[in-house]
Chain A
Amino acid sequence: MPAGTLYRGREGMWSWVAHRVTGVLIFFFLFVHVLDTALVRVSPEAYDTVVATYKTPVVALLEYGLVAAILFHALNGLRVIAVDFWSQGPRYQKQMLWTVVGIWLVLMIGALYPVLGHAAREVFGS
């Protein structure tokens, strides 16, 4: 195979892939989330029972993943808007992606205790 014919993309392509994947995942969660919230029209007990599963350690990890997907999709979405509407956007798209990743990392470290703290206490004892 001749060298260099397989397009592996760069920052632009991989951020596009990540935007798609996170978008689809968030949309599927949204269906489930509207359905579980709809249980408030059934009975308080039905709602509280389902919400109790949201408080288990395993689901807490999934929630941390959800926060990760939403924060990336939100920050990268703002970058896409800047690329489309700001005259210098396309020129700085790489720098903006690394800014997005940087802010995302800081926010994810900040979310660690609030989202996973209760799960850690339950698993390791408080």
Chain B
Amino acid sequence: MSTAETTASGVGPVEGSGELSGYSPDNPAPVIEPPRKRTKKTPKSTRGNFEMAAWLFMRLSGVVLVVLVIGHLLIQLVLDGGVSKIGFAFVAGRWASPFWQVWDLLMLWLAMLHGANGLRTVINDYAERPNTRLWLKGLLYTATVFTILLGTLVIFTFDPNIR
């Protein structure tokens, strides 16, 4: 048996409610600040929205990469004799067109950043000691910057008449 007073709706009487509470539109109850509201005293967040931006970037770059990479695989491995036709002359022919230069440049940047962010997540998940995380991420970022710069340089300075 229930000992508490209950109303038909199943909600018990609320203390301080009703006409005896003393509060009215002319005499409102004092405002209680929501516990997690940001005020002037709240320390400034140092992290910003980086993780959310990274999450969104993975999805946006992913959609673009599906098109760029599958197109790349078709051209390099499937059409016109597959891998057998690839050589310096084939590369020179494709990079003679700005369209394919932009295609490859965009693919390089998006794939490297997408992959680097993926590996950053993997390191965060499995490397537990702060020192290990620091070194692995340092290695990752160094290799990523190096590869993006090298690839960009190669696309922009490619010379079909190198010899």
Residues of A in contact with B (beta carbons under 8 Å apart): 20, 23-24, 26-27, 30-31, 34-35, 37-38, 40-41, 43-44, 47-48, 51, 54-55, 60, 63, 67, 70-71, 74, 77-78, 80-81, 84-85, 111, 114-115, 117-118
Total interface residues in chain B, CB < 8 Å: 38
Residue picked from B65, B83, B111, most chain A C-beta under 10 Å: B83
Contact of A38 among B63, B78, B143, B151 (CB under 8 A): B151
Counted as pairs of residues, one from A and one from B, with CB atoms less than 8 Å apart, the total is 102
Q: Which residue of A lies closest to B63 (CB)?
A: A81
Interface of chain B: mostly helix, strand, loop or mixed: helix
The answer to whether A118 and B82 touch across the interface, beta carbons within 8 angstroms, is yes
Contact of A43 among B73, B77, B151, B163 (CB under 8 A): B163
Residues of chain B within 8 A (CB-CB) of A60 are 83
Q: How far is the CA of A71 from the CA of B116 in the complex (A)?
A: 19
Residues of chain B within 8 A (CB-CB) of A47 are 87-88, 91
Q: How far is the CA of A85 from the CA of B66 in the complex (A)?
A: 17
**B106 touches A (CB below 8 Å):** no
The answer to whether A77 and B66 touch across the interface, beta carbons within 8 angstroms, is yes
Q: A34-B112, A51-B87 are in contact. List 9 more A-B contacts (CB 8 A).
A: A26-B115, A34-B147, A41-B159, A44-B162, A51-B86, A55-B86, A67-B77, A74-B70, A114-B82
CB 8 Å contact bits of B138-163 with A (1 = contact, 0 = none): 00000100010011011001110011
